[in-house]
Amino acid sequence: MTIRRRLVYAFLSILFLFGLNLAIYFVASARLSGAVEALQRAKDRQLLIANVGEDINDIHKQVTLTGNVFSATVIAGGEAESDEGAPSEAEKLEQSRFRGQLQELDSKLAAIIRISNVDAQGPVRNLSESCAQLAASWLIVHENFGSNSDSVTRAITELSVTAEPLSQYVRETLLPELEEFERSQAQIATQNYTSVSSVTKALTVGIFLASLLVAVVVAFHVSRYLTRGLSELEAGAAALGSGQLEMRLKLANKDELGDLAKSFNDMADKLLAAHNQLTEANVELDRGKKEVEKQQEMAMSLLLNILPVQVAEELQTSGQVEPKYFEDVTILFTDFRGFTLATEKLAAEELVYMLHEHFSAFDEIVKRYGIEKIKTIGDSYMCAGGIPDRKPSHPVDVVLAALEMARAVEEHNRKDAPAKWEVRIGVHTGSVIAGVVGTRKFAFDIWGDTVNYASRMESSSEPMKVNISERTYIRVKDFIECEARGKVLTKEKKELDMFFAKGIVPNLLNGNGENPPPAFKRRYRVYFQQDPPPLSEFLLKHD
């Protein structure tokens, strides 16, 4: 049964009970009204009968008084003989009044008959008939008193023979019987009224209580039914909201709640299916994302191999790299002496392998000192410090890296290498323009006189020596011990002041074996507001 039908039935039940109550109220009112009317009629009859009794008594006494008056008349004036002549006006008036009294009595009796039930009319009719006889007798008595002796005799005879016995019978028998009868009728009417009233009250209260009970039961049942269903729905929705998509409602009701539960379960099914699809899609997406990230990392890694981090990020962000001016950069060039000769003696793969080993060592050193590798050209290795990070320690860092490079080549030569190579290293400090050229196979490069000057330093250097320019010397002399070479003639026939870097200044090496030594570290901090990188062991020893 649907909830709407339940509510309609409940409403109709209550309506029916209230209607029944109303109908009973009206029926009871009608019966009550009938009972009141019967009671009223009984009371009216009682009053009228009492009135009739009083009238009969009055007339009886009046008739008796007539005899006394007659007696008084006799005493006053002897025998009331009036044989001749009609009754006087006063007598006529008195007779008329007496007849009026009798008629009034008759009308009251008729009224009693009129308002009596059929059952009660018998005794009243008896009374009425007796009263009619009595009235006729009284009339005879009344009209004959005061006339001649014969009339008086007739009056007394009528009075004694008929009127008085009949009057006594009426007053002492009929009237009391009728009064008793009417009293019993009134009592019955009163009892009837009380009974109807009590039954009406009891029924009204009973049906009201029954209506109340039904209303409470129906309200309780419906509310409990709805609350239970809605609570289950609420719990289901909460479970669904918390992610328990397998949750299903178990409402088997064949009503709106059941339909709602079914819709809810359908929705949960669809949500679960959608969730599963979404999960699968997410897994797929994660897989793709990881793949993309892996690809991106690989691309970035490849990009970082050829470009500085900042340049690579700028290229990724804007798709291009604006050329930038760096006013203070230290550039390092290396070149292997005898490489051309070696190419004739070594196989190509051995040559490449050796270059790879050396350049790999250089890469490691360059990375440790935070120097940017620019490129390799044949057997030449080019790197620069202070680019793209503009850190002030780049001259010292580059010279230290250069010393380590030379040392690395030397150590490599000590191994069982197919060929012994010697390296020349040149360093110069100055300004450059940096940028990326081309759209495919990007190349980060630097341009300017400083690059050429650094190349001159390399070409003017000696095997296994680090040749630095005067400008670089000025920047590193407080950290690096240098040997002045004086003016050296370059390939372009220019005389330039050059210096060989030999190692760290001896007085900076004092310490308890700490790396870097405290003095070096302190000065480095003072000059460049940063800590120096760890130094190679050979740099900590003074020759």
Binding stretches for other proteins (CB under 8 A): 60-61, 64, 67-68, 70-71, 74-75, 79-80, 149, 152-153, 156-157, 159-161, 164-165, 167-168
| Token couple for 454 | 């650094």
* Dihedral pair phi/psi, residue 531, rounded to 5°: -85, 145
Nearer to other proteins, 104 or 164 (CB): 164
Task: Using the CB atoms, write b or e for 423-443: b if 16+ within 10 Å.
Answer: bbbbbbbbebebbbeeeeebe
Environment class of residue 398 by beta-carbon count within 10 Å: exposed (0-12), middle (13-18) or buried (19+)? buried
Smallest distance, other proteins to C-beta of residue 63, A: 8
Nearer to other proteins, 151 or 310 (CB): 151
Nearer to other proteins, 70 or 369 (CB): 70
Smallest distance, other proteins to C-beta of residue 74, A: 5
Please name every residue paired with 45 in a beta bridge, in sequence order, or none if there are none: none
Smallest distance, other proteins to C-beta of residue 183, A: 20
Nearer to other proteins, 31 or 171 (CB): 171
Smallest distance, other proteins to C-beta of residue 198, A: 42
Nearer to other proteins, 161 or 377 (CB): 161
d(CA 132, CA 368) in angstroms, rounded, equals: 156
Nearer to other proteins, 12 or 161 (CB): 161
Nearer to other proteins, 174 or 402 (CB): 174
The Cα-based distances of 40 to 44, 128, 184, 192 in angstroms read: 6, 22, 14, 12
Nearer to other proteins, 39 or 80 (CB): 80
Smallest distance, other proteins to C-beta of residue 160, A: 4
The Cα-based distances of 503 to 397, 403, 466, 475 in angstroms read: 12, 7, 10, 14
d(CA 233, CA 270) in angstroms, rounded, equals: 17
Nearer to other proteins, 155 or 240 (CB): 155
Smallest distance, other proteins to C-beta of residue 29, A: 46
Provide the 8-state DSSP code for 162: I
Smallest distance, other proteins to C-beta of residue 158, A: 10
The Cβ-side half-sphere exposure at 81, using a 13 Å CA radius, reads 2
Environment class of residue 105 by beta-carbon count within 10 Å: exposed (0-12), middle (13-18) or buried (19+)? buried
Smallest distance, other proteins to C-beta of residue 141, A: 11
* SS3 label, residue 465: strand
Helices then strands, counting H and E runs in the chain, come out as 14, 8
Smallest distance, other proteins to C-beta of residue 140, A: 13
Nearer to other proteins, 156 or 226 (CB): 156
| Token couple for 14 | 């209550």
d(CA 339, CA 345) in angstroms, rounded, equals: 10
Smallest distance, other proteins to C-beta of residue 36, A: 36
d(CA 19, CA 6) in angstroms, rounded, equals: 19
Smallest distance, other proteins to C-beta of residue 174, A: 15
Nearer to other proteins, 160 or 231 (CB): 160
CB contact at 8 A, 486 and 473: no
> Which amino acid is residue 342, in one-letter code?
A
Environment class of residue 403 by beta-carbon count within 10 Å: exposed (0-12), middle (13-18) or buried (19+)? buried
